[in-house]
């Protein structure tokens, strides 16, 4: 099941790159594959390690950073600013490349869920931002939250 998820998303990413006229090199594909295979956000160094554990020739962290920049630029991956880690777009097969992405980040276990937000909400958010004299550019919203599992174990960060 997970392998099919990775394969389908990689195929979709290939089509997106073709449509955009970007060169989806083997290294770029493998970095995205590493991110898709991970079940949690990874730092650039973790990506490099995971990549090098299964792939010859190996890759340097510098190259990984460059590739991540590319993947971010076309919204196939995101850098979570609060965690300084990277995550693949959750559903590349339904790729929209929208201007706003929303992530729920569990403050206890750091698991991440990318949520789909209706265009209506995105539009009214953009209006609110403009009203306050700011202009929303491409952005992502990270919501500090508690996942269902951690909630179920009654984890309370205030009691730590």
Residues in contact with Zn ion by CB under 5 A are: 106, 108-109, 147, 150
Contact 101, 114 (CB under 8 A): yes
**Secondary structure (3-state) at 112:** strand
CB of 12 to Zn ion, least distance (A): 28
- Residue whose CB is less far from Zn ion, 13 or 42: 42
CB of 36 to Zn ion, least distance (A): 21
- Residue whose CB is less far from Zn ion, 117 or 150: 150
- Residue whose CB is less far from Zn ion, 53 or 148: 148
Buried-state track 33-48, b at ≥16 Cβ within 10 A, e below 16: bbbbebeebbebebbb
- Residue whose CB is less far from Zn ion, 77 or 106: 106
CB of 107 to Zn ion, least distance (A): 8
Which tokens belong to 23? 């060169």
CA distance 113 to 27: 26
CB of 147 to Zn ion, least distance (A): 3
Distances 96 to 2, 35, 108, 145 between C-alpha atoms, Å: 22, 19, 30, 25
CB of 96 to Zn ion, least distance (A): 27
Contact 8, 93 (CB under 8 A): yes
- Residue whose CB is less far from Zn ion, 59 or 109: 109
Q: How far apart are the first and last CA of the chain?
A: 38
């Amino acid at each position: 099941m997970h392998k099919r998820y990775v394969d389908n998303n990689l195929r979709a990413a290939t089509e997106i790159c073709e449509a955009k006229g970007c060169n989806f090199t083997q290294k770029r594909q493998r970095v995205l594959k590493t991110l898709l295979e991970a079940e949690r956000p990874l730092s650039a160094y973790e990506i490099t390690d995971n990549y090098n554990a299964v792939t010859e020739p190996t890759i340097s962290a510098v190259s990984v950073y460059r590739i991540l920049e590319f993947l971010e630029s076309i919204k196939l991956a995101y850098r979570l600013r609060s965690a300084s880690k990277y995550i693949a777009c959750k559903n590349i097969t339904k790729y929209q490349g929208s201007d706003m992405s929303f992530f729920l980040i569990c403050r206890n276990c750091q698991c991440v869920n990318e949520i789909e937000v209706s265009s209506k909400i995105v539009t009214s958010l953009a209006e609110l931002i403009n009203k306050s004299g700011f202009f929303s550019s491409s952005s992502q919203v990270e919501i500090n939250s508690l996942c269902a599992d951690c909630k179920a174990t009654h984890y309370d960060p205030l009691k730590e």
